[in-house]
Structure 1
Amino acid sequence: MNDLVLIREKINKARRLNQAKLLATKNGEVTPYKISVFMKRIKQSQKDLKLQDS
């Protein structure tokens, strides 16, 4: 592939990631978003919903 195309793709990817960056709070401090934290929160909320339904 052409180097310019690869560079353009990397720039576009970095721009998309920067726009999609989410923040999470940990002990009151803003920390970078991590997918593992997100998945933990989803699983915990699903457990809570199941407990409320039953």
Structure 2
Amino acid sequence: MMRPDHIHIDLRTCDLTLSQMMAEIDRLIRTHPEQEIFMDGDAYAIVGRDREVGE
């Protein structure tokens, strides 16, 4: 069963500059190694998806 994505930054309501956004994405990548951090165009947000553990 697929878990829902974690919305870290909602781009519709975010007031960060581009450089601040990139720094925040770097921070999210470092602090959440168990997640893939990416921009979801449908949700218009920076989200984290739990990594699949190899079987």
Fold equivalence (TM over 0.5) = no
Q: TM-score, normalised by structure 1?
A: 0.34
Of structures 1 and 2, the larger Rg is shown by: 1
Bigger share in strand: 2
The answer to which structure has the higher helix fraction is: 1
User: Using CA pairs below 8 Å that are at least 6 residues apart, which structure has the higher relative contact order?
Assistant: 2
